[in-house]
Each structure stands twice: as C-alpha cells, then as structure tokens.
Amino acid sequence: MKRKLAAGNWKMNGTNARLAEITALATAHPAPGVDILICPPATLVVQAAALTADHAMMIGAQDCHPAPSGAHTGDISAPMLADAGAGAVILGHSERRENHHETNDLISEKARAAHAAGLIAVICLGETLAQREAAQTLDVIASQMHASLPDSASAANTVIAYEPVWAIGTGLTPTSAQIAEVHGLLRSLLAERLGAPEAAALRLLYGGSVKPSNALEIFDIPNVDGALVGGASLKSPDFSPIITALESAS
C-alpha cells in the first residue's frame, strides 16, 4: 500500500536559524505514518540532510538544471543535489513557469536529469484563474502532464502535484469537487501512459493554500495522496497538524 506524502516547499525562505523547525518536526513525528519531505533553499540542503540522517524525513530541493555539469553559472545540477543529501526535487512549480519562463519540455528534461541522479521528481501542474474561468482547466492540466512527464517516470521516482496557480498563497482553495475532477483526470491519464498498476501507485498531491483548518477535508478527496504545502510548512506548529491530518486519512 502506498504511503501518503506531506511535502513542504520553503521557497526563498530560511537561514540556518530556521533549521530548528526541522528538528522540531522530527521530534513531533518520531515515527510518522506518512512520508515527510522538506524542500528548503539550496543553501540549507546539506545541513537539513544532516539533521534528518537518523529520521525518516526526506530533504529535497526546489529546482535543478537539466545538465549534470557545465558552464551554467549560478545553476545547480541534480547530481550535485543528490551529493548534498537531497532525495527529491520540485520541478515545474508555477512560480518558475511564470518567473523563469520554464516550458513543459524543459521541465521534462529536468525530470529526466533528476531520475538519472536518483532523485524523486515532484512535478507541478496547475491552471491560472483565467484558464479556470474559461473552462480550460482539464485541457491545460492534460497538456502539462503529457509534455512535462518524461518516459523515465514511474511511481517510484515521480510525484505529481496539482497546484492551481490562483490558489497558491492566496487563501483561496478549489472546491472538493474541482480537486477531485483534476485528480481523477490525472489518474486516468497516467493509466493510459504508464498502465493501471503503475498509475495507481504514483502519488498525486494537492497544493494551494493547504492549512490545518482544511487539511482533513482535502485528504478525504479521492485520488489525493498528500499535499505540497508552501507557507504553512515553514513552521512546525503549522505543518505538524497537516501531517497528523494526513496520517488520520491514510
């Protein structure tokens, strides 16, 4: 039976002082009933990995370059992240798609690089508010998934996170029916692409204004295998109840 996943994306937040939140989280969940992934800034990956060496918690990163090495000033490769202690990497987050003009093809290349380095690729998909209001959500999600998912993807090395762009950091959340519709579509598309058994085993996360007050409702939605959490993952007292809610739903 697949384990649910609670993933935290710290984004461009955190210095050494914030590592105490990881220690607090490990103390609060010494033997978690779900997988926990924390993705701090790249500057903290080594320290965070050292802190969780004796805990089931996994440390990840927030992006990688598609090449294993080379003349790419300022970039970090997947092998470098693995060497630093990361076990996963977030790819295709809407903030990178928008702010860095990342395409589906580039995200697919990055995912292949992550897989080659032994990292789990957490591939993000999501529609804008304009696309939602134009009834284009399912077409957008299908297009993003088909083009962003490399042929190297499997349930063991890939997680897909549905994050409607208009719900990230806004306090707005889609209805349970809207989340269920997208996650159902993803499961169906994955079955066509990977086969039913592999599709059933691949974890689908929901992300976008997940907080303790709505976590249980979200985790009760069919085909939701966990959450990719932004702001609420920065502090253990906020993230811990979300983990507990996921454990209750598992």
Active-site residue list: 93, 163
Tokens coding 163: 């994050």
Determine the angle formed by the axes of helices 19-28 and 236-249, rounding to 10 degrees: 40
Q: How many Cβ atoms are within 10 Å of 226's Cβ, its own excluded?
A: 30
> What string of H, E and C letters represents the secondary structure of the chain?
CCCCEEEEECCCCCCHHHHHHHHHHHHHCCCCCCEEEEECCHHHHHHHHHHCCCCCCEEEECCCECCCCCCCCCCCEHHHHHHHCCCEEEECCHHHHHHCCCCHHHHHHHHHHHHHCCCEEEEEECCCHHHHHCCCHHHHHHHHHHHHCCCCCCCCCEEEEECCHHHCCCCCCCCHHHHHHHHHHHHHHHHHHHCHHHHHHCEEEEECCCCCCCHHHHHCCCCCCEEEECHHHCCHHHHHHHHHHHHHHC
